[in-house]
Amino acid sequence: MTLPSLLSPQRSGPALTAWLERHREDVRGLLLTDGAVLVRGFAVLPPGAFREAAAVILGPLMDYVEGASPRTAVDDGVYTSTEYAADQVIALHNELSYSTRWPATLAFYCRKAAESGGQTPLADSRRIYARIETDSPSPPPTAVRYLRHMHEGKGAGVGWPTVFATDDPGAVEAYCRTHDIDFTWLSDGTLRTSQVRPAAIVHPVTGERVWFNQAHQWHPSNGGPDLEALWREIYGDDLPMDARLPDGGDLDPHVLDTIRAAYHAERRTFDWRPGDLLFLDNMLTAHGRAAFTGQREVLVAMGGPTRLADVEKVGRHG
């Protein structure tokens, strides 16, 4: 399986935004079948020009709210990709799949490729769903409870003012009530949240079942057994991020192993080139990040949103 599909201009010199306007339906059609489209062969653009080009395919851009990773806004609707240390690997996932609203489509733009590594691996969420259903040693969860402990800007994890893009506790509480998030303020100013979301959904356009959650990424085992043991020693049950069964019980470690094996089996990579523009259907295609050396500048924009209330949840037997 080839992922992503590659599109390039047949002649040199066209402006990216104008080219995308002429090929808008081609790109959108490929996204619904292949899940990812790489547009290559154009000059490197500033962030504002990337925003204009991305909006041709994505439509109005979304703000990044309720995120679990640190980013910096560089233009309206344009953000840095996750600002983790270069030696860290970001597991494959679908953006904001733990929320009640997520981007339908993503655009990644490479302004500077890493010296080595730094790929954005991709995986087909349809094939991941099928593998997990077939290979799991016990029934995989139909829903996931996501737990967070968010500080005010100090300590591990992302602080609640960054997550909710406000330093007003009242605005945070209003957001949580609107988006079906249980919340508690602890005595030290930490915000504890809990929300239950489906493990799989039906794509609202194609009708296909897709694995759509971040249980494997939020669970403390994501960092390996040594790091999990350290985090549990430091935080106990008050981990910065955690994933459990809807009733609060522990996820089966063998099921988590199966989930991670499915992502690994479906992982596809390509090497970034400066000027590359990658579009993803966020429900059909998971993405991550490889470790890298040197400098890397990849920007991201998000279009949508798709709302949980408007999609079908997949039950135990679909």
Half-sphere exposure of 216 (CA within 13 A, CB side): 24
pLDDT score recorded for residue 317: 46
Q: Which residues pair with 73 in a beta bridge?
A: 79
Amino acid in the structure at residue 132: I
Give pTM, 2 decimals: 0.95
Break the chain into its structural domains and give their ranges: 5-124+268-305, 127-261
Gap between the Cα atoms of 23 and 44, Å rounded? 19
User: Which tokens hold the place of 65?
Assistant: 């709210």
Gap between the Cα atoms of 42 and 246, Å rounded? 47
CATH 3.60.130.10 fits 127-261, yes or no: yes
3-state secondary structure 12-73: CCCCHHHHHHHCHHHHHHHHHHHCEEEECCCCCCCHHHHHHHHHHHHCCECCCCCCCCCCCE
Bond from prior residue into 305 cis (ω within 30 degrees of 0): yes
3-state secondary structure of 264: helix
Gap between the Cα atoms of 128 and 260, Å rounded? 10
Gap between the Cα atoms of 137 and 215, Å rounded? 17
Gap between the Cα atoms of 244 and 260, Å rounded? 16
Gap between the Cα atoms of 65 and 182, Å rounded? 17
3-state secondary structure of 78: strand
CA-CA-CA-CA dihedral for 141, 145, 149, 155, to nearest 10? 20
Q: Fold match between 5-124+268-305 and 127-261?
A: yes
Q: Which residues pair with 195 in a beta bridge?
A: 146
Gap between the Cα atoms of 273 and 257, Å rounded? 33
Contact predicate 128/266, CB 8 Å? yes
Strand (E) positions, 68-170?
A: 73-75, 78-80, 90-93, 101-102, 105-112, 116-117, 122-124, 143-150
Please give the chain's pLDDT, 318 residues, in tens.
679 999 999 776 679 999 999 999 999 999 999 999 999 999 999 999 999 999 999 999 999 999 888 889 999 999 999 888 999 999 999 999 999 999 999 999 999 999 999 999 999 999 999 999 999 999 999 999 999 999 876 666 789 999 999 999 999 999 999 999 999 999 989 999 999 999 999 999 999 999 999 999 999 999 888 888 988 888 888 899 999 999 999 999 999 999 999 999 999 999 999 999 999 999 999 999 999 999 999 999 999 899 999 999 997 544
**Residue tagged 């904001």 (tokens):** 96
pLDDT score recorded for residue 155: 64
pLDDT score recorded for residue 223: 86
**Residue tagged 């909710």 (tokens):** 164
The dotted CATH code for 5-124+268-305 is 3.60.130.10
Kindly report the backbone phi and psi dihedral angles of residue 100, in degrees, each rounded to the nearest multiple of 5, phi listed first: -95, 0
Q: Which residues touch 305 (CB under 8 Å, ≥6 apart)?
A: 62, 101, 102, 103, 104
